[in-house]
Structure 1
Amino acid sequence: MPSTAFMINGFDDSNFSGVERATQDLIKQRQRLLGPCYKLFYENPVHFDRAEGVYLYDKKGNRYLDVYNNVPVVGHCHPRVVEAIARQASTLNTHTRYLTDGVLAYAESLLATYPKELGHVMFTCTGSEANDLAMRIARFHTKGSGFVVTRFAYHGITQATAEISPTLGANEPIGRDIRTVVAPDAYRQGGGNVEDLFAASVERAIEDMRRHGIKFAGLIVDTCFSSDGLQLTPKGFLQKAVDVVHDAGGLFIADEVQPGFARLGDSMWGFQRHGVVPDLVTMGKPMGNGLPIAGVVTQPHLVEAFGNAVRYFNTFGGNSVCIAAAQTVLDVIKDENILENSREVGAYLIDSLRGATESVEIVGDVRGAGLFVGVEFVTDRASKKANGVPALRLVNALRERRVLISASGPGSNVLKIRPPLPFKKEHVDEFMAVFREVLPTVL
């Protein structure tokens, strides 16, 4: 039977008897073969067979609207990406220790989307590896070990990144050289206070490190604070905190695994909303539309000494097939006006959700940017106390109507709405029709 270790929107084995027999059999087989670490979503897990665009299909051919998955950033099984993968796999697939054209062309294309100060890219297979590598570079450069992260952050599953990922739970201890701070929260703090409060909390964390003899290395944040419940406003609230970091001799690492690649609508990268230039930027899952490619973009001076002193190599990072997929993702983002679509359709989605929840007392806030939207459930609007029960009920009620979303935040109370980026207004209408229908059932 599956483990009951907590995961937001995770399947709980107490619901085992409530799912159909075929699903029970698959869960038992999965547990027998994969063990307890692998988690499933939803009270009633879904068995998918294929996908296309913004839809997934189960074994019976039923269609599910995907309003959650950011990995297929340009849509499930995009034909141009599929063709690029097949063509490259039939031609050449090798690592970065040989000279090949594709990896250089892609590096040129990718770096062109960044500020000029960021001039090198190093490839990995996963976002966890990318964050791990960025931490290594920061520690080498600063000769420090201490990092500041937000209190419910998620940055990966390697040893180093698990130690900066409080959202993994109490049984995965935070590193002794790590300090956590409360994430920015304009809903509770007021938009005018967010920048100062966050900068002050980072400064206190750095000072606490000093008192304990820990040399500060850097601040790493997901630039839309998605695990912390999606915090995006006001624009620019990271600026003072980044200044504090630099004044203390540390580096700022922008984790763009979730906000990057045009998701937020007004910029290619989340850090650009804040008018800052990171020292290092990490990318992950969406980079190759699901293939294992990720990376670290750096200011060149940071890797000069690191590259000469430390041996770094990644056999599969930047392999020819994944590079072909990643190049095509960038091409599709440009050719299909994905950034503009994120902005326009995202605004329509936010307006639709606000209209549908305006009179619902336990919905305290609807916030977002582009096609990344959060709907926060509270006990009441006066107290603003997190209320995860109706949020998770709604997530599962939507799943039963074949619409997929999830939840986030320390209270599991913020709906996490994050569809593939080819999402159109007609898909918003499809989602909202079901949302309006099921919302009264969870109140």
Structure 2
Amino acid sequence: MSETHVERRARLMGPNVPTFYRSPVHLVRGEGVWLWDAAGKRYLDCYNNVPHVGHCHPKVVEAIAKQAATLNTHTRYLHDMVLDYLERLLGTFKNGIGQGILTCTGSEANDIALRMAQAATGKTGIIVTDDTYHGNTTAVSQLSARRPQIGERWPNVRLVPAPNSLLRPDPDGTIFAGHVKAAMAELAAAGFGTSALLICPMFANEGLPSLAPGWLAPTEAALRAEGALIIADEVQPGFGRSGSHFWGHERLGFKADIVTMGKPMGNGHPVAAVVTTPEIMASFRNVFSYFNTFGGNPVSAAAAMAVLQVIEEEGLQERAAKSSAYVKDRLEALNHPLIADVRANGLFFAVELRDGDKGATAFSVQLVENMVARGFLMNVIGADRNVLKIRPPMAFDIEHADLLIDALAAALAETKVPA
């Protein structure tokens, strides 16, 4: 008897390797916002930000193939492509950010960012929220509260309550700032001091709370007073996803000292980066010896350059702003007793489902399964896993939005509320 795909996967990859959905989707092809499984079923991708400009975008594919056929090496040799890309990338930033390091993953970028903050400040304490995710290295895994730690959490790490605009209103950010101040005081008393606050400017994994521009100002002031830095993890908000701004920290209205990015940067090609000011970079380079064999290779840089070109040529940031307003209006028009809130930040949407004072976790999970069965990929986020996470590729337009919302309305009506 032949083994199933799932059985083969477990035999070759080991136990507990994560997959989405109760019946994992076996994908074989993608194009734009569409995906097809091994049985030929088509899915509208409303979840994956990795193919930022659309699955298998021909200009990105062409750039990868052309460079791969010419040269691929690393940054201990001189080549123009990595410099050309960095120059264009850095041109999208303000506030003195002017140098960068290319890596392979966002985890690596965040790991470097932590060391940059330590080198620049001479302190080792780090503050993050209590429902965050910033990667898989030994260092950044210490920042996640979602996975068990082996032994105690590192003593130089402090977790503060994540903002939640529905359950814990904090319209001017003073409550969050109070938590950060308390964490800084603890780190100072313990002898670590605070090197940086690391956040996603959308607080995407925390549930995408609605935060007004300037919301982080009290926190920023408190950090500056102690000489601490702010690291913006732009893996999810960056590259125009917010519609109104190219970077999420610009939309929220704070100055980022260090910015990291990853998944969407190469449209699926493994490339990521950390960028900062020349002063902070010099501190890092003078303290740490760092080299990444594959980070900054010409093929990765070519893929990333093509992504920037497509965003500009196809007006994807502007299209995101237009589609965002339309999707939010349609989501707000949905009528269901468990819908407690609808939130949007460019092409990133959250629908929070609650049953009284409890998150409607079981209903939310079943609703996602029903949407997948209908051919629409999405997922859940938030501490209670009761917030629908809708985060499509940037090629997602109004015609796709109508397909999504019509299907969601039908699935909401048919999904049973667990007893």
Residues 156 and 162, structure 1, Cα contact 8 Å, conserved in 2:
yes
Measured after TM superposition, the shift of residue 128 of structure 1 is 0.1
Deviations 1:270-294 (A, max 9, x none): 0001222211000001100011110
Partner of 1:367 in structure 2? 343
Q: CA deviation at 1:172?
A: 8.2
Q: Distance in 1 between matches of 2:194 and 2:286?
A: 23
Does the 8 A contact of 1:167 with 1:227 survive in 2? no
What is the CA–CA distance in structure 2 between the aligned matches of 1:191 and 1:308, rounded to whole Å?
40
Which AA in structure 2 matches 1:40? T
Residue 390 of structure 1 and its aligned partner are, at CA, apart by: 1.2
> What TM-score, normalized to structure 2?
0.96
- Counterpart amino acid of 1:270? G
Partner Cα separation in structure 1 for residue 18 and residue 12 of structure 2? 13
Q: Is the 8 A contact 2:344 2:350 kept in 1?
A: yes
Which of the residues 51, 57, 60 maps onto 1:72? 51
1:174 to 124, 132, 153: 153
Q: 1:119 aligned to 2:95?
A: no
Q: Does the CA contact (< 8 Å) of 1:347 and 1:369 recur in 2? A: no
Match of 1:189, SS state, is coil
Which residue of 1 is the match for residue 387 of structure 2?
414
What amino acid sits opposite 1:363 in the alignment? I
SS in 2 for 1:74: coil
Q: For residues 173 and 434 of structure 1, what CA distance do their matches in structure 2 show?
A: 45
Q: What does residue 222 of structure 1 align with?
A: 200
Q: Does 1:347 align with 2:346?
A: no
Give the counterpart letter for 1:416 in structure 2: K
1:146 aligns with 2:119: no
2:383 corresponds to 1:405 = no
2:166 is aligned to: 187
- The question of whether the paired residues in 1 share the 8 Å contact of 2:72 and 2:297 is answered with yes
1:441 to 406, 411, 414: 414
Gaps of 5+ in 1: 1-20
Is the 1:265–1:339 Cα contact (8 Å) retained in structure 2?
yes
Deviation per CA, 1:196-220, whole angstroms, max 9, x where unpaired?
1111111011112223332211100
Aligned counterpart, 2:241: 263
Give the equivalent residue in structure 2 for 1:7.
none
Amino acid at match of 2:350: G
Letter aligned with residue 366 of structure 1: V
SS state at 1:28 partner: helix
In the alignment, which residue of structure 2 is the partner of 1:3? Answer: none
- C-alpha deviation, 1:187, in angstroms: 1.9
1:196 to 1:292, Cα distance in 2 relative to 1, 3 A: same
Out of 346, 369, 387, the position equivalent to 2:360 is 387
Give 1:234 shift. Answer: 1.7
**More deviation, 225-234/419-428:** 225-234
1:218-245 per-position Cα deviation (integer Å, ceiling 9, x unaligned): 1000111111111242222112212211
Letter in 2 for 1:412: R
- The TM-score, its normalising length taken from structure 1, stands at 0.91
User: Which residue is equivalent to 1:6?
Assistant: none
Q: CA RMSD in A?
A: 1.6
Q: Using the alignment, how far apart are the partners of 2:69 and 2:134 within structure 1?
A: 34
Alignment check: 8 A CA contact 1:122 1:297 kept = yes
Report the CA distance between 1:305 and its aligned residue: 2.9
Please give the secondary structure, in 2, of the residue aligned with 1:197: helix
Distance 1:144 1:52 in 2: 47
| In structure 1, C-alpha distance between the alignment counterparts of 2:379 and 2:43, rounded to whole Å | 14
For 1:132, give the aligned amino acid. Answer: D
The answer to whether the 8 Å contact 1:163/1:173 transfers is: no
The alpha-carbon distance between structure 1 residues 285 and 235, as it changes in their structure 2 partners (threshold 3 A), is: same
The corresponding residue for 2:353 is 377
Match of 2:250 in 1: 272
Q: Deviations over 1:102-151 (max 9, x none)?
A: 11111111011100410111111000000000001111222222111001
Residue 151 of structure 1 aligns with an amino acid whose one-letter code is D
Structure-to-structure mapping, 1:300-311, within 5 angstroms: 300-311=278-289
CA distance in 2, matches of 1:311, 1:212: 28
Question: Residue 310 and residue 191 in structure 1: after superposition, are their counterparts in 2 closer, same or farther (change >3 A)?
Answer: closer
Mapped contact 1:163–1:172 kept (Cα < 8 A): no
Unpaired runs of at least 5, structure 2: none
Per-residue displacement from partner, 1:173-192 (whole Å, max 9, x unpaired)?
A: 63221111111122233353
CA distance in 1, matches of 2:392, 2:19: 19
Identity %: 43
Match of 2:19 among 24, 40, 50: 40
